[in-house]
Amino acid sequence: MSICVHGLGYIGLATASLFANAGTDVTGFDVDECVIDRLNEGDPNVSEPELESYIQDALESNLTPSHRPQPADVHIICVPTPYDELNDGADLTYVKDAGRTVANVLRSGDTVVLESTVPPGTTTGILAPILSQGDLEIGEDVHLGYTPETVMPGNTLTELRTNDRIVGGVDEASVSAIKSLYEPLTSGEIHVAADPTTAEFVKLAQNAERNVSIAYANTLALLAENYGIDVRSAISLANNHPRVDILSPGPGVGGHCLPVDPHFLSDGSGATELLDIASQVNSRMPEHVIRLLEDAIDSLEDKTVAVLGITYKGNVSDTRNSPGLEIAKLLGTVTVDTRPAMDGGWDEGSVTIHDPRATDSRLQLVPLDVAVDGADAVIFGAAHDEFAALDPEDIRSKMAGRTVVDPVDVIDTAQWTEQGFDVRTL
Ligand code: SAJ
C-alpha cells in the first residue's frame, strides 16, 4: 500500500510519520516548497521533542517529502481551514486546492480521506464533486470519507496512537477501507458515523462543547470574585459530584481550534446563540485580567508590565489567538503580528514580553531577565513548566514592584506571597 499525505503541518506530518513508521511508503506533499526543503534537510520544526524524533525516524525510513503530489492507493488531506471572518465561516480554499491536486493523480480503486476540520457537508458537497470531475465516480470507483484528527497539541504523539477515531464514509466500502487503514495504528476504538456529514459535525461539536464549558468556568470565576471565593477550590469541590466535571477558568481561549471551530457550525438560523455567547465570555477574559492588575496597582500610567507566556496555552509554541498576547496588546505598546493594535482604552504603560517556547520571529520577545528588570508587575499568560519552576526571590530582586497576576494558575501563590508579592488570581 502507498499513501500520499497532502499538507505537512503539525497534523499532516504526524499522520504521515504514523503510517511511515508502521512500514507504509508515504509521500508527504505540501504546496509550501520551504516545508519540503526543510524536511529534506531532516528538520521537522515541531516543538514536541518526542514527536520531533518520531518524525525524524519516519524521514529516515518510509516518509518521502515531495514537491509534487504522487499517485497513491490512499490520499489523506490534512490542510488548514482558516476562519473567514468576512463570511463568518471556514475558508475552504486549501481543501478545494487539495481536492484538485488529488483529482489529478487519482486512479480507480484509490481511497481519499479528509482529516481537516470542516463545516458539515464539505466532504460530500464540496470535495466529492471536485474528485469526480474526471471519469471516476465516487463510491463506484473511489472510496471517500471523513475522519477528523482529534489530537491535543502538547500531547500529539500519544493521542495520535491512542485516541478513538470517528469515520464517516460515502458508502460501506469506503467505511471499511478507511477503518482498516487506521485500525492497526490506534489503540482507541474506531466509531462509524452514519455519513461524512455526521463525522464533520461531531468534530465541531467536540470543540464547541469545550469552548462552552470553558466559558462556564470563566463565568464562575467572575461570579466567585464577587463573593470573595477561590474559584479553583470551588470547582474542585463541585467536581466531586459524579456527574459534574467543570473545566478550569483562564485568561481566555486561544489556539486555532476552540475560538474558530464553533463558527463552522453557523448556519444563519440563530441556533448558535449559546456558542456565540460562550465565545464572547471567553474573549472578554484578557480585559478582566487587566482589571485584576489595575485593582492591584491603581493606574497603569507610566508602569512597566512584563507579560510572561504569550503562547495560546502552557508548554506549546503556537501563539495563534493567544490570550497572553491579547493582554500584552491591550496593555499598549507591543508590536506583534499583522493584526492592528487594539484600542482597549487602558492607560498606556509599557510592556515587555517573554516566552521560553514561542518561536514567532515577528514578536519582540526578550529574555526573562530583561522582561522583569525594573517591572512594576508581572502577568503570567501561559502555564509553561519553566514558570512553575521560577524562583520568586530571584524575580523579586530584579523587579521594581511586587504585583503578580496569575490567571493561568502556574505559580505557587503561597510561596510567592511569602516572598512579599501581591499575587492576584482569578
Ligand atoms: N483552556 C482553558 N481552560 C481549560 C482548558 C483549556 O482556559 O480548562 C484554554 C487553553 O488555555 C487554550 C484553549 O483553552 O487557550 C484551548 O486549549 P485546549 O487544550 O482546550 O485545546 P486545543 O485547542 O489545544 O486542542 C483542541 C482539543 N479539543 C478538545 O479537547 C475537544 C484537541 O483534542 C483537538 O484535536 C484540537 O482542539 C483540534 O485540533 O481541533
Q: Which of 203, 303, 313, 329 is catalytic?
A: 203
Q: Which three cell numbers stand for residue 267?
A: 448556519
Atom 19 of ligand 1, residue of closest alpha carbon: 152
Q: Which atom of ligand 1 is nearest to the CA of 211?
A: 14
Q: Which of 201, 314, 150, 315 is nearest to 248 (CA)?
A: 314
| pLDDT number for residue 332 | 77
Q: Which atom of ligand 1 is nearest to the CA of 258?
A: 23
| Residue 248 alpha carbon to ligand 1 centre in Å | 11
pLDDT digits (tens, 9 = 90+) for 18-47: 999 999 999 999 999 999 999 999 999 888
- Clarify whether 78 is annotated catalytic: no
Instruction: Provide the β-strand partners of residue 5.
Output: 28, 76
Distances in Å between the Cα of 205 and the Cα atoms of 166, 199, 255, 263, 326 are 13, 10, 17, 11, 26
Q: Is the pLDDT of residue 87 over 50?
A: yes
Q: Which atom of ligand 1 is nearest to the CA of 250?
A: 7
Q: Do domains 2-194 and 195-425 have the same CATH topology?
A: yes
Tell me the C-alpha distance between 245 and 100, whole Å: 44
Tell me the C-alpha distance between 63 and 26, whole Å: 5
Instruction: For ligand 1, pick from 258, 321, 408 the residue to mutate: most ligand atoms within 8 Å of CB.
Output: 258
Place of cell 464572547: 280
Atom 11 of ligand 1, residue of closest alpha carbon: 313
Q: Which atom of ligand 1 is nearest to the CA of 316?
A: 24
pLDDT digits (tens, 9 = 90+) for 299-310: 888 899 999 999
| pLDDT number for residue 338 | 35
| Residue 97 alpha carbon to ligand 1 centre in Å | 28
- Clarify whether 257 is annotated catalytic: yes
| pLDDT number for residue 333 | 53
Flag the least confident range among 42-51, 174-183, 229-238: 42-51
Averaged pLDDT, 268-287: 95
Tell me the C-alpha distance between 9 and 25, whole Å: 19
Atom 35 of ligand 1, residue of closest alpha carbon: 150
Atom 37 of ligand 1, residue of closest alpha carbon: 257
Where helices occur in 63-195 by DSSP H, the ranges are: 93-105, 122, 128-131, 156-162, 172-182
Averaged pLDDT, 125-145: 95
Q: Which atom of ligand 1 is nearest to the CA of 282?
A: 7
| Residue 375 alpha carbon to ligand 1 centre in Å | 31
Place of cell 485584576: 292
Class of the domain covering 195-425: alpha beta
CATH topology of domain 2-194: Rossmann fold (3.40.50)
Atom 38 of ligand 1, residue of closest alpha carbon: 257
| pLDDT number for residue 345 | 38
| Residue 421 alpha carbon to ligand 1 centre in Å | 31
What integer best gives the mean pLDDT of the chain? 94
| Residue 149 alpha carbon to ligand 1 centre in Å | 13
Q: Which of 257, 303, 313, 329 is catalytic?
A: 257
Atom 29 of ligand 1, residue of closest alpha carbon: 207
Q: Dihedrals φ, ψ of 147, to 5°? A: -140, 110
Query: In angstroms, how far is the first alpha carbon of the chain from the final one?
Result: 53
Instruction: For ligand 1, pick from 206, 209, 210, 318 the residue to mutate: most ligand atoms within 8 Å of CB.
Output: 210
| pLDDT number for residue 346 | 42
Averaged pLDDT, 413-425: 98
Flag the least confident range among 228-232, 289-293, 350-354: 350-354
Model confidence band, residue 349 (pLDDT cutoffs 50, 70, 90): low
Question: In the structure, which protein residues have their CB atom closer than 6 angstroms to any atom of ligand 1?
Answer: 117, 149-153, 206-207, 210, 214, 247-248, 250, 253-255, 257-258, 312-313
pLDDT digits (tens, 9 = 90+) for 246-274: 999 999 999 999 999 999 998 888 899 99
Q: Is the pLDDT of residue 370 over 90?
A: yes
Averaged pLDDT, 370-396: 97
Model confidence band, residue 340 (pLDDT cutoffs 50, 70, 90): very low
| CB-based contact 79:116 (threshold 8 Å) | yes
Q: Which atom of ligand 1 is nearest to the CA of 312?
A: 15
| Residue 297 alpha carbon to ligand 1 centre in Å | 32
Model confidence band, residue 78 (pLDDT cutoffs 50, 70, 90): very high
| Residue 95 alpha carbon to ligand 1 centre in Å | 23
Where helices occur in 156-297 by DSSP H, the ranges are: 156-162, 172-182, 196-227, 231-238, 273-283, 285-297
Q: Is the pLDDT of residue 1 over 50?
A: yes
Tell me the C-alpha distance between 15 and 220, whole Å: 38
Model confidence band, residue 386 (pLDDT cutoffs 50, 70, 90): very high
Domain ranges of the chain: 2-194, 195-425
Q: Which atom of ligand 1 is nearest to the CA of 163?
A: 33
Q: Is the pLDDT of residue 344 over 60?
A: no
Instruction: For ligand 1, pick from 10, 15, 152, 159 the residue to mutate: most ligand atoms within 8 Å of CB.
Output: 152
